[in-house]
Amino acid sequence: MSASPDQAAALAAGELKNLLKGGLSGLDEATLGRLLAGAAAAPESEDPDAWLSLLGGSLDGAARERLRAAKRSLAERALGSGSSATEATSAGRLAALRNELMRRGVAGFLVPRADEHQGEYVPPRAERLAWLTGFTGSAGVAVVLAEKAAVFVDGRYTLQVRTQVDTRLFEPCHSAELPAEQWIAANLPKGGVLGYDPWLHTLDGVARLKEAVEKAGGSLEALADNPLDAVWSDQPAPPIAPVVPHDLAHAGKPAADKRQELAAKLAADGIDAAVLSLPDSIAWLLNIRGADVPHTPLPLSFATLRQDGTVDLFIEKLKLAPGLERHLGNGVAVRAPAELGSELDRLGAAKARVLVDPATAPSWVFDRLAAAGVKPVKGDDPCALPKACKNPVEIAGTRTAHRRDGAAVSRFLCWLERETARRAVTELEAAARLHEFRRENPLYRDLSFDTIAGAGPNGAIVHYRSTEKTNRALAAGEIFLLDSGAQYLDGTTDITRTMIIGHVPEGAPGAEMRDRFTRVLKGHIALATARFPKGTSGSQLDALARAALWQAGLDYDHGTGHGVGSYLGVHEGPQRISKLPNRVGLEPGMIVSNEPGYYKAGAYGIRIENLVVVVPAEIPGAERELRGFETLTLAPIDRRLVDASLLTRDEVAWLDAYHARVRAEVTPLVDAETAAWLAGATAPIG
């Protein structure tokens, strides 16, 4: 929770003194050191100088340059030493951790890829799994025992883990086939203590672990501090990036109103206070945005919301952009992160009824409250549902953002068709070009995730990220899958298009590709046109998107739709369209993706993804309260891959109407060449 002293001292005192000369009023050496270390641990922003606003005062050009250089040097040092293990460094790190465990008398320790907020993107400081094992996937956990160690990853990463991890040190396991819990039950020595960091596991997760450990006749113990951190001498500092207001023009509802509405609900449920551990919940509630992790404008922080509508925000104060405290208002007290514990103690002493989410909050919160004498009320994060149901301003914003994003994608698709007709374009070049089109927009702030640009067989790797090593040229007759999105101030986008490259002669693309593409499209249309009663969950609708593939004995191994935030996470809950059971009804204002796909290993991948927003469905004579989807995403779907003979009349009508809408809404925003291309790309097929 606090910057490591090693890291804060990473710049020599002399250097810091020197930097302070440039007119940084009110900053002392220690604070400046902390700020620089934090800035170095934050992701590079579109405006690389944004962090300088946190220094206060007016800086002259020379001072700015000195500060930039100092941050750059720290960031480079971090990159050199604090990053993923290699075969050369992993053994030493593992040995050091085992020594530390022995010193503490614990038989083993869990190293999840997780931070205190269970985030999808975590700051460098929380990349403990990568530091120890070399594995850089977005999900996984290592279990380290005295004699054995294993790393558990899901189906997306079973190949990657073997290329990144020294398998003589860590047994690589597919978590669906051999869950960590089962390995623990089989390998923990009887009577052994398995330690874990209670900041990095949820209560639900701990309950599962406890069962496994008890099966092995051992015990599970929350460790007061993380033994890996103790041996990671150059662990990066917590990130420090500006936390800024999210304007009412985009947020649509004053934060004070949100606080009051949620507080009234807490009061009605007899809850005195709720603990918020999800930064996107806090960002939504307080109408603020941060920049602590890549691609999602999160302010890493904790908060408590009380029955009277007041909030304590536990956050590194150096992160607050000038004026932010005024934006937060009188109802929000800004407190240091380390004070969360004493606030929980106070709630415990007051015998308060405290709501905590067992699926997302660190188990540490439950432990601390229990120690303070109260058993928390387990329940969903109270922000999750109201955040998911976008208000009219947010919906209007996302429509505008999607129109602009559709223009950028259309310009890119036109460019791609022109360029690939005359020369080789690579995956990385294509992704970079699309990025350029998007960043021309003044409301653009970031990509919403790393672009997936998979040509030919690379498209079949669902979570593919192109690298210099795998970069492939887009070859004529091959399929190119492009999944990308952006963070605009007025909305978050996420779109996948699958294109056939180059001039397509008669008979090509092959019948199989067109059959698969058309089946994916049928699923996409079935979901886009679905109507369903109030209370219907995404898991009830999932099969509609798969049925056409199932008829041919095909399927895809990912969900059909995820929730999307409003200038927030491109993945958010609580709604979801997937095979996994989910009881959350799809309510008006919820944004979800509609992205069925098909993947042929070693050959190609197909995915058609639009974002949609849940709307009330007006049906004459309806006897129930019905919902439907309005498609937000606006860009052509490659007609050359559609086999119209497989479509019903209604499906053809949908595709033609969608394309007509794309043409009408996007044409005014693009250049003449793109407009001309768009006219052809959106012509009716019916």
Interface positions with its own copies (CB under 8 A): 530-533, 536, 539-544, 546-547, 550-555, 579, 581-583, 617, 619-624, 626, 648
Q: How far is the CB of 533 from its own copies (least distance, A)?
A: 5
Q: Which is nearer to its own copies, 281 or 540 (CB)?
A: 540
Q: How far is the CB of 460 from its own copies (least distance, A)?
A: 12
Distances (CA, A) of 642 to 268, 498, 543, 677: 53, 11, 21, 18
Q: How far is the CB of 265 from its own copies (least distance, A)?
A: 17
Q: How far is the CB of 161 from its own copies (least distance, A)?
A: 24
Residues in the chain: 686
User: Residue 243 corresponds to which amino acid?
Assistant: V
| Cα 268 off chain centre by | 33
Q: Which is nearer to its own copies, 535 or 589 (CB)?
A: 535
Task: Spell out where 131-189 has E strands.
Answer: 141-145, 149-153, 171-174
Q: Which is nearer to its own copies, 329 or 533 (CB)?
A: 533
Q: How far is the CB of 380 from its own copies (least distance, A)?
A: 16
Q: Which is nearer to its own copies, 279 or 509 (CB)?
A: 509
Q: Which is nearer to its own copies, 270 or 392 (CB)?
A: 270
3-state secondary structure 393-406: HHHHHHHHHHHHHH
| Contacts of 24 by beta carbon, 8 Å cutoff, 6+ apart | 32, 55, 56, 57, 59, 63
| Closest of 340, 287, 291, 286 to residue 311, by C-alpha | 286
CA angle, 422 then 424 then 426, to 5°: 140
DSSP string, 201-215: SBHHHHHHHHHHHHH
The radius of gyration of the chain's CA atoms, rounded to the nearest angstrom, is 26
Q: How far is the CB of 207 from its own copies (least distance, A)?
A: 14
Q: How far is the CB of 624 from its own copies (least distance, A)?
A: 5
Question: CA torsion angle for 247, 248, 250, 253 (degrees, to 10)?
Answer: 140
Q: Which is nearer to its own copies, 46 or 214 (CB)?
A: 214
Q: Which is nearer to its own copies, 119 or 358 (CB)?
A: 358
Q: How far is the CB of 553 from its own copies (least distance, A)?
A: 2
CA angle, 297 then 298 then 300, to 5°: 155
Question: CA torsion angle for 225, 231, 233, 235 (degrees, to 10)?
Answer: -60
Cross-strand pairs, 500: 479
Q: How far is the CB of 361 from its own copies (least distance, A)?
A: 20
Q: How far is the CB of 409 from its own copies (least distance, A)?
A: 30
Q: Which is nearer to its own copies, 473 or 626 (CB)?
A: 626
Are residues 355 and 379 in contact, defined by beta-carbon separation less than 8 angstroms?
A: yes
Q: Which is nearer to its own copies, 33 or 597 (CB)?
A: 597
Tracing tokens 């449920």 back to the chain, one arrives at: 269
Q: Residue 359 phi/psi, 5° resolution?
A: -90, -15
Are residues 305 and 266 in contact, defined by beta-carbon separation less than 8 angstroms?
A: yes
Q: Which is nearer to its own copies, 43 or 535 (CB)?
A: 535
Q: Which is nearer to its own copies, 469 or 583 (CB)?
A: 583
| Closest of 293, 304, 110 to residue 198, by C-alpha | 110
Which letter, b or e, does each residue of 303-336 get, where b requires 16 or more Cβ atoms within 10 Å of its Cβ?
bbbbbebbbbbbbbebbbbeebeebbeebbbbbe
Q: Could you give the count of Cα atoms lying within 13 Å of 474 in the half-sphere of its Cβ? A: 28
Q: How far is the CB of 623 from its own copies (least distance, A)?
A: 6
Q: Judging by beta carbons within 10 Å of its beta carbon (0-12, 13-18, 19+), is residue 679 exposed, middle or buried?
A: exposed
Q: Which is nearer to its own copies, 60 or 625 (CB)?
A: 625
Helix (H, G, I), strand (E, B) or coil at 100: helix
Q: How far is the CB of 543 from its own copies (least distance, A)?
A: 5
Helix (H, G, I), strand (E, B) or coil at 591: strand
Q: Which is nearer to its own copies, 133 or 539 (CB)?
A: 539
Q: How many helices (H) and strands (E) does the chain have?
A: 23, 28
Q: How far is the CB of 11 from its own copies (least distance, A)?
A: 55
